[in-house]
Structure 1
């Protein structure tokens, strides 16, 4: 693709067409100049041949031939036309004027009457008509007509005026040259206009094709253009992703018969070519090396390209999983708003429960009963934190209140959280923790960091293998930069549709998941001025590099923290 993908303006289109027309004018100029040089060389050779044959022409004619050849070569090498639409006056004298003088000299010089040089006068008339204005063309033809009439009147004797045919012939020749000049100029002007229009239309067609390609390439839905032999002539990147076609392996043009998983698409194309376009049908493509694709296919048949009746089938492919995810997101978003309303209503009864439990605890003396009130208090506080988090997420508070941030020793908090999570899930050697930010403090609430870290560890455990080091947690501090916390697992690569919506609320690749974990993690990170992102990276596992999914958290340093590496 070109460096700039913006279509040119109408002014640039006109300029391009005019430049192309100027190029055509230059080619016409070059042709005429080459013809003049050829005629000059032919005349010189003709008179040299007459001289060698013993019929020596006058010295003036032979010298004029040499001078005319030199003049035509000089004009061809040095002169440059001004372009179409100009009056051609500046170059009339060294081109048309020189030709008229030279050809008239040959015609009028005594001793050359045996040769008729009249046909040569057509060249300057054609040159003036094709390269100059209409006035210049008609003026040149009129000069030639007067020259012919004058020569005929000069050569006719006074007693033979009534019987000679030279004067009528000269008059007819002059009239023909006038008509030739007028018609040639009109044809040249028309061809120049048509060339400009054709070039402008060609440029506009190229721009339109570029815009169409840009639109098709950027469409989120897949687009396939298939011919009657089931060859795919066009496939945008989204279509190749849905088909499981690798751009580096699959050629630009490929057939639907190349992969058995595409046979359903072949049947749909065959049905479309049988004058039965598919409005919308759902299919499943079973791939050998990746997860099956569920697609919704819609087709249209283009009109016949020419009289042969050849047409194309355009297929529009949509990822059903992404469509269902968007629909599910909309449904769960409304449920999320309802959950926020419910959480808001829970706060008052929860506060009453906490207060009643505190009053009850004051009247109890037995240890067993006090342990029960302590359990009620702890769980009520836990519910209170959950309610506040749900309300915070629902309100999507950006960075939160800076006064509520805490200076927290990152490695200490992460180490405690990882140990508790390791014991709770009994992962053993599957989990490896490498903390290299000792003594560095970050701005983050400990409870919120634990929630983010537990969410990431739960996701990692869900997709990681059972090998030692399948889950890895690491931290380090960048000099004069953020403090990084990474959670890596050797799970399979995520599909592009999943990666695009990774941190969106209520989006999940599994039906049993609510899709809120990563969204809440991102919201909590943003509230504390931190960032969270995902990349596909390689880590050492058992002495070899293994690819996996890694989540990066960039934490802000606390003001009391020290810059370390």
Structure 2
């Protein structure tokens, strides 16, 4: 027979406990009944043997009760169980004999012993116990017939009881086998359910879509890892010692609860995306009832739109480049004609100072329009559009060397990195374009203010919104940007210089966001201008 399962062994133990109690109670009841007033056959043939057998049997039962809980081998060893059941058969046979044999009816007690043996012991041993019990009864009746005068002929009853013992043994064995197989199947199904639950939980935890279960009071019942990462800035998740229980029991953030309330009023309404503060994430919500009925728990699906936004921005930049490329020819032809004609006109000797100034204005604006076209084309001209992980320190050293070799306005660029192994996941060509623009601006403003074109570059990791985000600070020594201009700093075609195009910072910001990064402006503690790029976590950037 296969090895018993934990559940089946527990059931066997329960049967063993009940039978052990039966061992003690049975002889005590027989003793009390035998000494009570009234006519009784108990101990009629040999009262002394009856009392001794009942007492010994009760003591044996008490010993077994004390041994069974501490001895695990009692119910796991067929030999020990067989020995104890043989003692039961011997004791009941003596009690039956001392009461006059089959006429007392005590032989029927062996049915309980054989039935218990069929449950506790499987296979041929159970049948062996039935055979021993039947032989004991037959021997007892035969001995009575030979030892007393005028014996009662109970051999037919003894044979019938022996047959009943065998039938009981076989029936209980079959029933026990069916119960065992049912228990085995139940255990297997329980294991499959547990494994399936673990698999489902693992799949849910590894999903990129955040899943939150909330009750009717908008309290969080459970959430997966993606949802925990999204809600980290909005919930007090760090107060939980167990990461798996973080967020449980807290109230759904107000912005999410408001969208959920609107959805419950009108389920066909598409919820508005929600921006998570200080993370650059934009989350699209979807709702569904966990069970039919408005009072059931609600599933909240959180879709991180960064991948979609990233692709949209890349497509927007590519579309802008294609649009510019398509009109560049049409614009440059008349633009070149205007510029060329102005240059020829400027060579005339008959121009006064006012006309020369007008020609200079025309040429400047022709150059400005041409620069605008070039900058927009550069934003989408990169052949390499695959992001990869780079070590900023090594990459910036090479970039600064190349920049100094190709730009005259560059006196000093100081680079500090902490930690030195800071990594980012970004498209290199687009990072070059961003830094070229920021370096140009910073060095130009530093030169205007101090007479020296200097920059300070700081690289590190900032624990922003509970996540480790690499950053790059570009600090110049210029006069800085006033508050009014700062509000429109990244707007297209906004510039504070007459010669600027107003597209540099706008395109730089678009390129940063297309790489799941943020470009922001701030002032240092000593009042210097600082442009900062906060990169996405390189291990979590969505490709």
Range into which the TM-score falls when normalised by the shorter chain: 0.5 to 0.7
CA separation in 2, counterparts of 1:415 and 1:282?
53
Contact 2:214 2:298 (C-alpha < 8 Å) held by counterparts: yes
Could you report, residue by residue, the CA deviation over 1:464-497 in whole angstroms, capped at 9, with x for unpaired residues? xxxxxxxx9634799xxxxx97236999xxxxxx
Q: Answer yes or no: is the 8 Å Cα contact 2:342–2:362 preserved in 1.
A: no
8 Å contact kept, 2:457–2:474: no
Alignment of 1:268-287 (within 5 A): 268-271=263-266, 278-282=267-271
DSSP-derived class of the 2:381 partner: helix
Measure, in 1, the Cα distance between the counterparts of 2:88 and 2:197.
49
Match for residue 266 of structure 1?
261
Residue 541 of structure 1: SS of its match in structure 2? Answer: coil
Query: Does residue 1:541 correspond to 2:525, yes or no?
Result: yes
For 2:473 and 2:307, locate their aligned partners in 1 and report how far apart those are by CA, in whole Å: 28
- Equivalent residues in 2 for 1:151-166, closer than 5 Å: 151-156=140-145, 166=157
Q: Distance in 1 between matches of 2:275 and 2:364?
A: 54
**Matches of 1:330 and 1:407 in 2, distance apart?**
29
Q: Following the alignment from structure 2 to structure 1, what is the Cα–Cα distance between the partners of residues 348 and 458?
A: 51
Q: For the residues of structure 2 that align with 1:378 and 1:148, how far apart are their CA atoms?
A: 124
Deviations 1:315-363 (A, max 9, x none): 5566899977865653443232343566699999999999999999999
Residue 203 of structure 1: how far off its partner (Å): 0.7
1:23 and 2:6 aligned: yes
- Choose which of 130, 136, 139 in structure 2 pairs with 1:141: 130
Q: Secondary structure at the match of 2:248?
A: coil
Corresponding position of 1:339: 324
- Matches of 2:263 and 2:357, distance apart in 1: 72
Give the Cα–Cα distance (whole angstroms) in 2 for the partners of residues 532 and 259 of structure 1. Answer: 26
Q: Judge conservation of contact 1:125–1:137 (CA < 8 Å) in 2.
A: yes
Measure, in 1, the Cα distance between the counterparts of 2:379 and 2:122: 80
- Count of aligned pairs between the two proteins: 438
Q: Which residue of structure 2 aligns with residue 199 of structure 1?
A: 190
CA distance in 2, matches of 1:106, 1:26: 27
**Which residue of the partner structure matches residue 209 of structure 2?**
219
| Shift in alpha-carbon separation, 1:57–1:49, aligned structure 2, 3 A | farther
Q: 2:315 aligns with which of 322, 330, 351?
A: 330
Measured after TM superposition, the shift of residue 202 of structure 1 is 3.3
Aligned to 2:474: 487
> How much has 1:57 moved relative to structure 2?
4.7
Distance 1:65 1:448 in 2: 94
CA contact (8 A) 2:134 2:165 kept: yes
How many Å separate the matches in 2 of 1:405 and 1:435?
12
Q: 104, 108, 113: which is aligned to 2:90?
A: 104
RMSD across aligned C-alpha pairs, in angstroms? 6.9
CA contact (8 A) 1:141 1:178 kept: yes
Deviation digits for residues 343-402 of structure 1 (CA, Å, limit 9, x no counterpart)? 6999999999999999999999x9998998999699869958974994585233489xx9
TM-superposed CA distance for 1:452, in Å, is: 3.0
1:72 CA displacement: 8.0
What's the TM-score once normalised by structure 1's chain length?
A: 0.51
Residue 125 (structure 1) aligns with: 114
Alignment partner, residue 86 of structure 1? none
Matches within 5 A, 1:78-117: 80=73, 91-105=77-91, 107-108=93-94, 112-113=98-99
Paired with 2:521 and 2:49, the residues of 1 have a C-alpha distance of: 93
- Report the equivalent of 1:495: none
Q: 1:112/1:353 Cα in 2 relative to 1: closer, same or farther (>3 Å)?
A: farther
Is contact 1:282-1:295 (8 Å) kept? no
Alignment equivalent of 2:235, drawn from 219, 222, 246: 246
Q: For 1:131 and 1:449, how far apart are their aligned partners in 2? A: 81
TM-score, with normalisation over the residues of structure 2? 0.53
In 2, are the aligned partners of 1:361 and 1:370 still within 8 Å (CA)?
Answer: no
Q: Secondary structure at the match of 2:5?
A: helix
In 2, the alpha carbon distance for the partners of 1:521 and 1:239 equals 25
1:219 shift after superposition: 0.5
Gaps of 5+ in 2: 37-46, 240-245, 386-394, 418-428, 445-453, 461-470, 482-502, 536-543
Question: 1:140, CA displacement in angstroms?
Answer: 3.3
Q: Is the 8 A contact 1:537 1:550 kept in 2?
A: yes
Label 1:65 to 1:215 Cα distance change in 2 as closer, same or farther (>3 A). Answer: same
Give the drift of 1:174.
1.8
Give the Cα separation in 2 of the matches to 1:446 and 1:162. 113
Match of residue 158 from structure 2? 167
In the alignment, the residues of structure 2 paired with residue 435 and residue 209 of structure 1 have an alpha-carbon distance, to the nearest angstrom, of: 48
Structure 1 pair 127/24, CA: closer, same or farther in 2 (3 Å)?
farther
Whether the 8 Å contact between 2:289 and 2:296 is mirrored in structure 1 is yes
Q: Which runs of 5+ in 1 are unaligned?
A: 1-17, 84-90, 272-277, 418-433, 438-443, 459-471, 479-483, 492-511, 524-530, 554-565
Aligned-partner Cα distance in 1 for 2:297–2:371 = 63
Q: Would the alpha carbon gap of residues 230 and 60 (structure 1) be closer, same or farther in structure 2, given more than 3 Å must change?
A: closer
Cα distance between partner residues in 1 of 2:504 and 2:347: 42
The one of 396, 413, 417 equivalent to 2:383 is 396
Contact 1:522 1:532 in 2 (8 A): yes
How big is each residue's C-alpha offset from its partner over 1:2-27, in whole Å with a ceiling of 9 and x where there is no partner? xxxxxxxxxxxxxxxx99x6222432
